[in-house]
Amino acid sequence: MSRRFYLVSYDIADDRRRDRVYGLLLGYGDHVQFSVFCCQLNAREKVCLRRELSERINQDEDQALILDAGSVEGAKPEPEIECVGHPYTPHIRCQIV
């Protein structure tokens, strides 16, 4: 199953819900800015993330955006992120099986 990069951002009105969404997204990707994560997901993981986000937010007050940023390729894929201001440094992630 192919993997794709997704930028996930959120605007959550309530501190408790925002903390729950932040904790959820830590399990899916890298925290790159205050309310922005970069995630590498396959189709099944994206469906799970969308469902879990939907369960954690208030549909009338909050918003989460999932932006498809292209396919993941190569042995050590990193998203192509152009930065203005303070440089972006990707987090080192390891997979534990």
Q: What is the pLDDT of residues 44-69, one digit of tens each?
A: 999 999 999 999 999 899 999 999 88
Both structure tokens of 26:
């830590």
Beta strands in 1-97 (DSSP E): 4-11, 29-33, 36-41, 63-71
A 10 A CB-CB count for 81 gives 13
Query: What domains sit in the chain, N to C, each tagged with a CATH number?
Result: 4-71 (3.30.70.240)
Of 19, 44, 28, nearest to 93 by C-alpha is 28
Residue 87 has pLDDT above 70, yes or no: no
Residue 31 has pLDDT above 80, yes or no: yes
Query: With contact defined as beta carbons under 8 Å apart, do 78 and 90 qualify?
Result: yes
Residue 70 has pLDDT above 80, yes or no: yes
Average pLDDT, the chain: 85
More confident residue, 74 or 54: 54
Single pTM value for the model: 0.78
